[in-house]
């Protein structure tokens, strides 16, 4: 119908907008790579594994989306302990029910996360229920769902 002999030329305003968008994307990717390089994955140490009994004080969610990490604050005697569990999506998939006031026993590995002492949970026992989050070698079992 209509034809134009005018070559496809991008306006200077559109070109500037595309260049700014590309620059922002590049900065975001660089910052993400830099952040992940600074925070290596915490390693489960089988030799340091221990059991700790206590009362759940609080459930916390760190991060957002599919990989948001669920952890809890556990009161054990006079100590308050941070326990890293697993992604929230795995908690939901496995129908794990934990709430403040629950009495639990955690099998896990103490580690330092940015200078803060935490426990990486391998197993949670609550009453007659037992939830396995990591295998006998400390490898997360939630990764098995996606392989």
Q: pLDDT band at 4, cuts 50/70/90? A: low
The CATH number for 46-146, chosen from 3.30.2320.50, 3.20.20.80, 3.40.50.80, 2.40.50.140, is 2.40.50.140
Whether the pLDDT of residue 137 is over 50: the answer is yes
Whether the pLDDT of residue 3 is over 80: the answer is no
Whether the pLDDT of residue 14 is over 70: the answer is no
pLDDT value, residue 146: 46
This prediction's pTM: 0.69
pLDDT value, residue 147: 41
Distances (CA, A) of 20 to 13, 15, 17: 11, 9, 5
Domain-wise residue ranges, the chain: 46-146
Whether the pLDDT of residue 13 is over 70: the answer is no
The C-alpha torsion from 118 through 67 and 40 to 38, rounded to 10°, is: -110
Q: pLDDT band at 12, cuts 50/70/90? A: low
Q: pLDDT band at 64, cuts 50/70/90? A: confident
For CA atoms 51, 52, 56, 61, give the dihedral sign: negative
In the numeric block, which tokens belong to residue 91?
A: 């908690």
Whether the pLDDT of residue 28 is over 90: the answer is no
Q: pLDDT band at 36, cuts 50/70/90? A: very low
């Amino acid at each position: 119908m209509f034809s134009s002999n005018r070559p496809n030329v991008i306006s200077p305003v559109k070109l500037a907008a595309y260049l700014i968008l590309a620059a922002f994307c590049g900065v975001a990717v660089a910052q993400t790579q830099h952040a992940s390089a600074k925070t290596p994955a915490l390693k489960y140490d089988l030799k340091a594994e221990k059991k700790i009994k206590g009362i759940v004080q609080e459930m916390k969610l760190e991060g957002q989306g599919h990989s948001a990490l669920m952890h809890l604050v556990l009161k054990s005697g006079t100590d308050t302990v941070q326990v890293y569990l697993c992604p929230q999506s795995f908690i939901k998939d496995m129908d794990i029910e934990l709430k403040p006031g629950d009495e639990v026993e955690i099998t896990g590995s103490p580690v330092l996360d940015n200078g803060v002492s935490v426990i990486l949970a391998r197993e949670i026992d609550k009453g007659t229920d037992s939830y396995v989050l990591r295998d006998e070698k400390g490898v997360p079992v939630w990764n098995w769902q996606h392989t």
